[in-house]
Structure 1
């Protein structure tokens, strides 16, 4: 804009200086024109300066916005990279979790199958023992299932004389029938538990208390089953519970009689199950 008005102004000045004779009217007109051009040039100069300031401000704003856009683009790229990585890791993790879940479900199915077979075998063993020992059930023998194990409970009067640890003939007959079944079940472990009532032991010689009596009676049964009936020693365990696990609380003769018992606990070997859940 400056380059446009400056030559015009120079031409006008030159024109004024070259005129030797000019009429007052024409002279006044030229002066008016000159003043008008001067005002226009000044207004244009102010406008130009304002525009130049605006351009400078716009350049500054553009620079700031460009930097902001660059920062945002960098941030977006990082977010995209993080999302891509996360999606990849999540997909991989989901795949691993799915495979692990499938393995666990397969193992759970195996455990359930084993437990089902155990329960079926336990029920079958109970039924077989009930049939084999049917003739002794009126004499104080019972067979039931507790916690996945078969319990053969024999009252002391079926096996021993009062205060004795020697098995009588009737007791031997019951153990013989029991042994016949146990010999057909080599996968069954056998625990023989002796139990007494809460009466103190009196005048029993080497037997000092109910602990001794319960242990020695359990040992007598184990010896008979291993030495006479030839059941493998490794399958049997003898334990004495004394008076501390009664089947019924009370002091009447009937209650004490029920508490004096031998319990033969039959449980399946669970090596397969233990190996599976390690």
Structure 2
């Protein structure tokens, strides 16, 4: 049972693109859904253990009553109390089976959404390029694109080559009406020289994010309501900024694809509440 939820790791973004309050809400939602899945898994394991215990009890009652029947040939020896206990055990088993089935269905649907998303993206993008990575982390799908495929050094103008890659991503997103995307800009730790428009790496990372968002919306027809622009400056590096090669790895744009799977989490939450009563 796995969670393509898709959730967010964005810590900060400029108020012109994503406010601290918006980002905090997104991050809180990501943590909440992950905690819920973890709780659900623990509860599911507990249910399975309890089911096993009830099954053993039921089998014990069955064996005991069968011994009585075989020894006396008098069905009345099966006492009313024994019959009631057996009936209660069987009923408890049925209830546990129903709860377990509902929890498994919810988690399976969530995992199916994530798997379908990854398959669609890899099939549509179809790129075996070390500068483009598609990964899944905690049920969220990430597409990471090196900046050398997107921008010239210090620039936020999207290259023609990048538009070809983004067109494939846009197709997948457009085919999935319940998906949202967050576009994250990342820089290395080399201080950006202000040009009067951009002040620092924060500005550059966000400006690159909004440039990609504009390509997705203006040129590729992605619904703007499905997009979030964010910048993370140099504060979430993949590797230490100690060599030119490592700096190049850290200069990247990450597209976070998030299927709307609230309905599946709602199913899980309802079952958890029922079992808590």
TM, length-normalised to structure 2? 0.59
Distance 1:103 1:196, change over 3 A: farther
What is the rounded CA distance, in whole Å, between the counterparts of 2:234 and 2:100 in structure 1? 40
Q: Does the aligned pair in 2 maintain the 1:163–1:204 contact within 8 Å?
A: no
Distance across 1 between alignment mates of 2:124 and 2:199: 36
Gap change, CA 1:251 and 1:231, over 3 Å in 2: same
Distance 1:103 1:180, change over 3 A: same
Distance 2:201 2:248 in 1: 14
Deviations 1:81-113 (A, max 9, x none): xxxxxxxxxxxxxx9xx98x9878756643432
Residue 216 (structure 2) aligned to one of 217, 225, 232: 225
Note if contact 2:186-2:250 (Cα within 8 Å) is conserved in structure 1. yes
Q: Flag the 1:125–1:203 CA change in 2: closer, same or farther, 3 A.
A: same
Checking the alignment, whether the CA contact within 8 Å between 2:188 and 2:241 is kept in structure 1 is: no
* RMSD over aligned Cα atoms: 2.4
Change (3 A) 1:104 1:266: farther
- Given that 2:194 and 2:200 are in contact with CA atoms closer than 8 Å, whether structure 1 keeps it comes out as no
Name the counterpart of 1:117.
109
**8 A contact 1:179–1:225 mirrored in 2:** yes
Q: Which runs of 5+ in 1 are unaligned?
A: 1-94
2: CA distance between counterparts of 1:275 and 1:117? 12
- Alpha-carbon distance in structure 2 between the residues aligned to 1:216 and 1:109: 47
Assess if the C-alpha contact under 8 Å between 2:125 and 2:165 holds in 1.
Answer: yes
Q: Provide, for residues 8-55 of structure 1, a one-character-per-residue CA deviation record: whole Å limited to 9, x for no partner.
A: xxxxxxxxxxxxxxxxxxxxxxxxxxxxxxxxxxxxxxxxxxxxxxxx
Report SS of the residue matched to 1:145. strand
Q: Indicate yes or no: 2:184 matched with 1:193.
A: yes
How many residue pairs get matched? 181
Partner of 1:37: none
Matched, 1:184 2:175: yes
Rounded Cα–Cα distance in structure 1 between residues aligned with 2:173 and 2:95: 37
1:136-147 to structure 2, matched below 5 A, reads 137-138=128-129, 140-147=131-138
The aligned residue for residue 245 of structure 2 is 254
3-state SS in 2 of match to 1:249: coil
Mapping for residues 38-117 of structure 1, pairs under 5 Å:
106=98, 109-117=101-109
Which contiguous aligned blocks of 4+ residues in structure 1 show a shift greater than 6 angstroms?
A: 101-105
Please list, as runs of the form range in 1=range in 2, the aligned pairs for 1:127-206 lying within 5 A after superposition: 127-135=119-127, 137-138=128-129, 140-206=131-197
Higher relative contact order (CA 8 A, sep 6+): 2
Q: Which structure has the highest helix share of the two? A: 1
Q: 1:106 to 1:241 in 2, by over 3 A?
A: farther
State the Cα distance separating 1:216 from its structure 2 match: 0.9
Which one has the largest radius of gyration? Answer: 1
Describe how 1:208-219 pairs up with structure 2 within 5 A.
Answer: 208-219=199-210
TM-score (norm 1): 0.59
Equivalent in the alignment of 1:234: 225
Q: Note the residue ranges of structure 2 that are not aligned, 5 or more in a row.
A: 1-87, 271-277
Query: CA 1:228–1:252 in structure 2 vs 1: closer, same or farther (change >3 Å)?
Result: same
